[in-house]
Amino acid sequence: MKKVVALLFFLIFTFCLVSAVNADSSKESPKKIAISFRVGDEFLLINNKYVQVQKPFVVNDVTLVPVRVITEAFGAEVKWNGEEKSVLLKYEDINIKLVIGSKKAVVNGVETTLQEAPVLQNGTTMVPLRFISENFGADVTYIDETKEIKVVKIIASPHSVRDLRLILRRSEKERMGDSYYNWSISFPKELDLEYRNFKGSYYEFCAKDGSYTLSVTTGNLPDPLDYVQYSMKNGELKKYTILKEGMFRNEDGDEYVYFSWKDGSSACEYRAFNKNNILFEVRLKVNDYNNYIGNDKFRKLMDSFRLVFPDDGTAEDLSDVDSKNYRIYQDKTLGWSFAFPAEVDAYPENKAGNYVFLTDTPYYILRNIQYEIEMYSIEEGMTLDKFFEKQIKEIKDYYNPEVFEILEQKDGTIGGVRSKELVIRKKQDGSTRIYKYFYIFGEKYRYVICYYMWESDYNNPDFRNKFEYAVKSFTFTEPDESETGKLTDPKFADRVSSFMKLSNDEYKWSFEIPSTWKPHPDTNWKTIVLYGGDKYGVRVDLYVLENITYDECVYNYENHEGIKASIENGGYKRIVEEEVHEKGATIKKYVTNQYDLIREYRYVISKNGLVYIFLMTLPEDYVGPKNVQLLDKIWKSLSLD
C-alpha cells in the first residue's frame, strides 16, 4: 500500500506541471481553394460552402461559369467596363482582361488566345473556368466516373504576401532558392511547392505526378556534422537498410553528411551542410525504390544544391524578405498584416486564426522574443478606455504582485488609429522580462498586440525599436462580420460569484467551488474529486485514502525521491510546512512553489478513520489577491463531518 500511495503522490505532484509545460507543436497545414460541381448544377461547392449561381455550361469542350464563382473561390477582384464590355480579374499579381464575345485575352500585359470567348447570359458574365483557374495557379480535373469538375489550388505559404506556388508554376528559370538563407537548387519544372513555413526555414516540394518529394530545411540550432552523422545513423535510420553513407564535399568545397536508405518500397536520400553556423538539410524521397537506383536525374538534382543564391537572375527567389530584413505576415480573411523581423516564425494557435504567436526561436526551446496577436469582437458597451481600465484592474486583482509590476501606461497611435499602451516587468526564476501590450479598437473588432523580451534587450533602444517596428507596421481592414462571425474572447468574462456544493455522505466530505467549474474525467465523486476550468488555472483535488495512517502519508510525501530532489535542487521552494489543528482534525499543511510555475496548497488530513488529501493549485503567475481569497474561501468551506 505504501508503494501505491507513494506513486499517487508522484502523480499528484507531476499532474499539475503537465498543463504548464507544453512542448508539442506541428506545422500549419497549407490552405486550399476548391471548387466542385457538375455541369448544369445550380449549387456549386466552393471552399466547403454551397453557393447558388447561374448554371455553368459547356461550349466546344470549354466550361463557362459565372464570374462570381471565381471571385467567391479565389477572393479575386473584378472590375466591369461597360463601354468596352470587358472584365478585369485581379488575383495576387495576376491580371486577366477578358472582352465579351472575344477570344483575345490579356494576362499581365501579354495577349493570348482563348478556346472560347466569355459571354453574357441573362445579365451574368460567363467566363472560361480552366483558363482563369490555371492562370491563378489551380489544377482543373474532370472525374469521368462522377462527371464532376474539380478545381484545386494549394496555397503553400498562406500568410506570405507572395503566392510562391504560383510564382514557381509560371517561372522559366533554371534554379530556385532563398536569397535570405542563401541557398539554391536546380528547378525541375515537374516540381510544385507543397508547403513553406512563414519563416522560410522549411520548404517542401512534390512532383506533380506524386513520384517524389524534396525538402530543404534551414536549422535554427547548428550541430557539428559529425554529430549529425552520428545522430542520424543511431536515431532516425536505426531501423532502415542504409545504402550508402559518408562525409563528402561538393564542387564548391562545402562538406556535407550523406545518407541514402531504403524505406519499404521507397528510397530516401539525405544531405546536411553546416555553414556560417547554420545547418542546411536536404531530403529526397522517391516513392519507387527501383526508380531511384541508378537514376541520374535524382543524383544531379541533389548534387545541384549550393550554399549560395546566384545574383545573375538564373534562380527564382522564394524569399519574401524586404530590403530592411522584414517579412509581412498577413491574414486575408481577418484583414490584418504586420511586417516582422525576418528571423521570426509564426504559429497560428487556433482554427479561426484570430490568435497567433510569433517567435524568433523554435517552440521547443526557451524563447527570446515573442509576439502575440489576438482579435476579438467588441463586447456590448465596451470602449478602448473601459477595456484598458479592465486590464489594469485584472492585473492588480489576479496577478502575482511579487512577479508582475506595471511600469508604464500611456496613449499612442498605430497606423493613425488611437491605441493604449501598457508596459509590465515580470521577475521570475532569476530572470526579468518586459511585456509591452498595445490595445486597438475598430468599429466591430478589438485587437491586442503584445511582445516580450529580456529586460536587457528592451533597454537597448536599437534592439527594442527593431522589434517594435513590427507593432507600428500593423494595419487592419475589418472583415465582414456576417462572413467572419463573432469572435468571442473566452478570457473576457469575469469570474462568476455563484458557488456550488460538492459532497459525499459515505466519506463525510463537502466543499464549495465556483459553479462554472467542470470535473476531470477521473473524478468518481467518492474518493477522487478533481475540478477546474477557471480562466486563471485554479483547480481543486480531493483524494480519500483508506488503509493507511496519517503518519504514513506524511512520511511518503516528505520522503518521495522526486520531491526531495526537487527541493534540494531548488526547483521546489517550500513556503509553508506546519502541522495545525482545524476542522476537528490533525492537518499537515504544505504551501510550495513548484519551479516558479505552480503554487500548490496541500493539506494532509486525518479524520473519520480516513486520510484526506486536499490540494488547491494555481499558476504562480496568478497568485494575486482575488485568487488567494478564492482559495481561502474554498478551504474554509471544506467540511469533514
Query: pLDDT, tens digit, for every residue of 256-283?
Result: 999 999 999 999 999 999 988 889 999 9
Residue 159 in any domain: the answer is: no
- pTM of the predicted model, to two decimals? 0.81
Q: What's the rounded Cα separation, in Å, for the pair 289 and 302? A: 16
Read off the pLDDT band of 223 (50, 70, 90): confident
Handedness of CA 297, 299, 304, 306 (dihedral sign): positive
Residue 490 in any domain: the answer is: no
Same domain, 77 and 148: yes
The per-residue pLDDT for range 232-252, each reduced to its tens digit, is 999 999 999 999 999 999 999
For residue 559, give its domain range.
2-22+495-637
Residue 27 in any domain: the answer is: no
Same domain, 376 and 472: yes
Q: Residue 490: what pLDDT?
A: 87
Query: Taking the CB of residue 47, how many other CB atoms lie within 10 A of it?
Result: 15
Taking the CA atoms of residue 505, residue 511, residue 517 and residue 523 in that order, the dihedral angle to the nearest 10 degrees is -40
Same domain, 92 and 178: no
Q: What's the rounded Cα separation, in Å, for the pair 550 and 419? A: 57
Residue 229 in any domain: the answer is: yes
Q: Residue 4: what pLDDT?
A: 38
Residue 489 in any domain: the answer is: no
Residue 612 in any domain: the answer is: yes
Q: Residue 282: what pLDDT?
A: 98
Instruction: Report the alpha-carbon angle 269-270-275, nearest 5.
Output: 150
Domain boundary residue, one of 109, 125, 153: 153
Same domain, 18 and 47: no
Cα–Cα distances in angstroms (integers) from residue 322 to residues 102, 162, 332, 340, in the given order? 40, 12, 20, 10
Same domain, 210 and 75: no
Average pLDDT for the chain: 90
The per-residue pLDDT for range 503-554, each reduced to its tens digit, is 999 999 999 999 999 999 999 999 999 999 888 999 999 999 999 999 999 9
Same domain, 384 and 454: yes
Domain count, the chain: 4
Same domain, 268 and 298: yes
The per-residue pLDDT for range 3-45, each reduced to its tens digit, is 434 434 433 443 343 333 333 334 445 578 999 999 999 999 9
The per-residue pLDDT for range 443-479, each reduced to its tens digit, is 999 999 999 999 999 999 999 999 899 999 999 999 9
Q: What's the rounded Cα separation, in Å, for the pair 73 and 168? A: 21
Domain CATH for 38: 3.30.457.10
Q: Residue 183: what pLDDT?
A: 98
The per-residue pLDDT for range 323-366, each reduced to its tens digit, is 999 999 999 889 999 999 998 888 766 666 788 878 876 544 44
Same domain, 149 and 169: no
Q: Residue 496: what pLDDT?
A: 80
Give the amino acid at 40: G
Q: Residue 221: what pLDDT?
A: 63
Instruction: Report the alpha-carbon angle 398-400-402, nearest 5.
Output: 155
Residue 334 in any domain: the answer is: yes
Same domain, 335 and 258: no
Domain boundary residue, one of 121, 153, 185: 153
Same domain, 216 and 355: no
The per-residue pLDDT for range 556-602, each reduced to its tens digit, is 999 999 999 999 999 999 999 999 999 999 999 999 999 989 999 99
Same domain, 188 and 310: yes
Residue 389 in any domain: the answer is: yes
Domain boundary residue, one of 133, 153, 173: 153
- The x, y and z cell numbers of residue 257, run together, are 553528411
Maximum pairwise Cα distance, the chain:
94
Q: Residue 160: what pLDDT?
A: 87
Domain CATH for 540: 3.40.1000.10
Same domain, 306 and 233: yes
222 has a pLDDT exceeding 70:
no
